[in-house]
Amino acid sequence: MAAAPQPNLTPEQYLEIERAAETKSEYFDGEMFAMSGASAAHVLISGNLAFHLRLKIGQGRCTSFGSDMKVRTGAAGLYTYPDLSVAHGQALFGDEEEDVLLNPVVIFEVLSPSTEAYDRGLKFDQYRSIESLRHYVLVSQHRPLVECHTRQGDLWVASISRGLDAVLRLESLECELSMHDVYEGVRLPEVPPARFS
75: confidence class by pLDDT, cuts 50, 70, 90: low
pLDDT at 84 over 90: yes
Give pLDDT, residue 114. 87
pLDDT at 193 over 60: no
4: confidence class by pLDDT, cuts 50, 70, 90: low
Structure-model confidence comparison of residues 16 and 4, the more confident one: 16
For the chain, domains (ranges, CATH) are: 38-182 (3.90.1570.10)
Structure-model confidence comparison of residues 66 and 190, the more confident one: 66
| 159 φ/ψ sector (left φ>0, alpha ψ -120 to 50, else beta) | beta
Dump pLDDT digits (tens) for 123-141: 999 999 999 999 999 999 9
Lowest-pLDDT range, 12-26, 60-74, 121-135? Answer: 60-74
Give pLDDT, residue 74. 75
pLDDT at 159 over 60: yes
Give pLDDT, residue 197. 46
Give pLDDT, residue 5. 52
Instruction: Report strand pairing: 135-139 vs 104-110.
Output: parallel
Dump pLDDT digits (tens) for 85-119: 999 989 999 999 999 999 999 999 999 988 899 99
Return d(Cα 92, Cα 36) in angstroms, integer: 27
pLDDT at 163 over 50: yes
